[in-house]
Structure 1
Amino acid sequence: MSPSDPFQSQAASTSEGSPRSEQPSPSATLTREYALAVQSTSYNEIWSKIHVPQRDEDEDEDEQDQQRLVLAQVLQPNRECVEEALGHVESNTLTRLVSDYFRHSEDATHLCLLLHRSVYRARALYAPLQQLLDVLDSLESISLNQSQCSRALDIFLQFDRHDNPFPSPDSHNFFDSRRRFSDLKSQLDRRLHISRSKIRHIRRATTASAICLIGTAVGMVAVAAAVTAHALAAFVVAGPLCSSSCCSRMTSKEVAHVTQLDAAAKGTCVLKEDLATIDSLARRLHTEVEGHKDLIRLGLERGAQDKHPIQEVLKQLRKSLPNLLHLVNELDQHICLCFNTVNRARSLLLQHIYTPCNVETHTDQT
């Protein structure tokens, strides 16, 4: 399946059908952004890395090793790069907040990789049912014969024996991850407010200092006869230069702080929204699978002696299965988009940290 196919036609129809004089609606803008995202090179690179042949579920240790390997390939910049960058700056409130973002984003990526395993399991679980329905749809006869009923019962039995591939909403995995990002976002916003306030105070103080010095210089003109012109000029120039240089260094440091905090805050906000979407899809899919399990158990209980319950179960599955498979594909794409979001935010944040300017100025203890 091509990750971009479902959205290419939507993007084309949106751009061609809207008059240039009209502003696109928010939904159309989101559709276009979504379409562009799934067609990006970075998205498709991640897609190819996470869609690899899966090992047998019995090989738990090999599966864990495979998960760690995929995480190392998908997560960029990886943990080693982040630790190296943070090792060049002295620990303070800012760097601890940034470090928290890197750690939480890595945890979220690992959580999404585990959920991506559920996508594979769901497709494997529903493949026999889909194949059976395809065969029955190709037949002219509406009524099932005994062989077809037996085949349906075997598939129902295998389906019933497997657990729901999607985590129960009671597991709170994504809820806990979203809560951590919410807490982190609040801390980042508070620190942003403090840094921006410092910048405003420094700039106001710089302006007030300059005005004061100018006033002092004007006042000194009245006694200029007692002071040489050269000494007066030195007084007027030296004062502002000293004050301006000091304030400039302080402002540059706070601006660097704000840049890092803002990058982390934006990345946190977007990632929290991505996780909310993924969590919602996973919950819906868990509910859908549970509904199918109840339906299939009904067919197993009543279908041993009568083929009509089996036909009714197949009829209901034929109606609901396309929607479930669509949700599975949508979840698959949103997981890949989430990885892309994480990597983009981590790369941007690392660039703001790992520069000579930032390394020099982030040495204060706040």
Structure 2
Amino acid sequence: MPHCLSFKPASPEASNGEDPHPHPSTEGVASTFNLSHELTRAFQTPSHHDIRSRLLEIDPTPENLELFLSQELKPNKESVQEALRDAKQTSLTQLVSTYFQHSENATRFCLNLYQNVHSARCHLYTPLSELFHGDPAIDEFFCNLAFDVFLKLDTFENPFPSPDSHSFRDTKLCLNQLKDKLDTRLHKSNSRVRILHHATVGSALCLVTAVVAVAGSAAVIAYHALPTLVVVAGPLCSPYLPHSFKKKELTNISQLNAAAKGTFALNTDLDTIDRLVSRLHTGIKNDKLLILLGLERGRDVYSIQVFAKQLRKSHVNHTHQLKFLVDHICRWFTNVNKSRSLLLEEILIPRT
């Protein structure tokens, strides 16, 4: 897994919430981009069942998994680049771009875990399933067969990373760092909106006070002085605070909320996957230890019976855990597609 991505934009893959419709008053987005079409594509996310069915059909080679990623990740990299092309580069657009990149890389990591599931099934648990098929008689023939199977399985390397593995730790660290940056940026935007609100209220009170004071002195003067007060008293009471600035901050908050919620959900999913992978790593490690102990005892019938009985129990448990991991990988796809689509919707919806 690559190291955490830099928060500096490598390419124009971000947005500041500008209106993407190609009309004369809008700049920055290619005129060929169609908002309605893009939102429709974004929300046509495959269901958990559909993703699982297609994932189980493929041979999980690195090439096939990369192709699967490009087809099933919604919106995919190309769609995001198309939607965010020519967007003004700000601290917010850098965060949004980073979110899309991190979520794509985390999804690629989950697909690599599926490749590990496939390896464990083919090279470890399928031979054990065949050995324990039905209710075989534990006799000398079975023990000799089991010993031969143990010899093959002893060469099989544990496909799952350890809980403290570099790649898995980096994946979680990237998402956690992004969540912290999104939370910090969201706090700043919320603070700015509150300041703008209080300043606007203060300006209005200041102007009303000035009008009332003049009106108390002379109603006629107040009548003639009102236009001047509107122009002069407002700037004197508070700085000029354009409505567009507050509107921009509210747009930023919507986008940051979508990204922060999505990142939190993905972190939660990744924690669940982490626990499953950790249990599988430990379980396979223990199974390999049993196999090694069985081989050290040679073709002793009693010893093979003992180790085969323990392996049969763990085999059932670990087979279920492999299924649970595949289910969570597919659920990850559903959640990451929903998260990415919601963020893209916030970016593309015209602001009035």
TM interval, short-chain normalised: 0.7 to 0.9
Higher deviation after alignment, 179-188 or 164-173: 164-173
What TM-score results when the alignment is normalised by the length of structure 2?
0.80
**Aligned match for 1:89, one of 83, 87, 95:** 87
Aligned equivalent of 2:293: 298
Helix, strand or coil: the match of 1:272? helix
1:167 is paired with a residue whose SS is coil
Partner of 1:182: 176
Q: Which amino acid aligns with 2:93?
A: T
The equivalences for 1:317-328 within 5 A come to 317-328=311-322
Secondary structure of residue in 2 paired with 1:166: coil
Determine the C-alpha separation between the residues in 1 that align with 2:230 and 2:265. 49
Identity, % of aligned pairs? 43
Q: Is the 8 A contact 1:43 1:336 kept in 2?
A: yes
Change in Cα spacing, 1:162 to 1:225, as seen in structure 2 (3 Å) is closer
Displacement, 1:119?
A: 1.0
Q: Which amino acid aligns with 1:126?
A: Y
Corresponding residue SS for 1:162: coil
Would the aligned equivalents of 2:46 and 2:72 in 1 still touch at CA under 8 Å? Answer: no
Check if 1:71 corresponds to 2:66: no
User: Aligned partners of 1:261, 1:268: CA distance in 2, in Å?
Assistant: 10
1:180: Cα distance to partner? 1.2
The answer to whether the aligner puts 1:130 opposite 2:129 as a matched pair is yes
The answer on 1:54 being equivalent to 2:59 is yes
Partners of 1:80 and 1:105 lie apart in 2 by 14
Deviations 1:269-295 (A, max 9, x none): 111121122122112111111111111
Q: Matched residues in 2 for 1:332 and 1:226: separation?
A: 80
Alignment CA distance shift 1:237-1:120 (3 Å): same
Task: Identify the residue that residue 209 of structure 1 maps to in structure 2.
Answer: 203
Q: Is the 8 A contact 2:161 2:168 kept in 1?
A: no
Amino acid paired to 1:303: G
Query: In the TM superposition, what are the counterparts of 1:94-243 in structure 2 within 5 Å?
Result: 94-124=92-122, 125-135=124-134, 137=135, 139=136, 141=137, 143-146=138-141, 148-224=142-218, 227=221, 229=223, 231-232=224-225, 234-235=227-228
Which residue is equivalent to 2:262?
A: 267
**2:99 is aligned with what amino acid?**
Y
Instruction: Give the superposition deviation at 1:158.
Output: 1.6
Whether 2:276 is the aligned partner of 1:281: answer: yes
Structure 1 residues 100 and 225, CA gap change in structure 2 (3 angstroms): closer
Checking the alignment, whether the CA contact within 8 Å between 2:58 and 2:64 is kept in structure 1 is no
The residue identity in structure 1 corresponding to 2:127 is P
Query: CA offset at residue 154 of structure 1?
Result: 2.0
Aligned residue among 38, 44, 50 for 1:45: 50
Q: Distance in 2 between matches of 1:102 and 1:238?
A: 46
Alpha carbons of structure 1 residues 333 and 228: separation in structure 2 relative to 1, 3 Å: closer
- The question of whether the paired residues in 1 share the 8 Å contact of 2:203 and 2:234 is answered with no
TM-score of the superposition, structure 1-length normalised? Answer: 0.77
SS at match of 2:116: helix
Deviations 1:91-127 (A, max 9, x none): 0000101111111111100000000111111111211
Higher helix residue share: 1
Q: Alpha-carbon deviation of 1:88?
A: 4.1
What amino acid does structure 2 have at the position aligned with 1:302? R
Out of 310, 315, 320, which is 1:316 matched to? Answer: 310
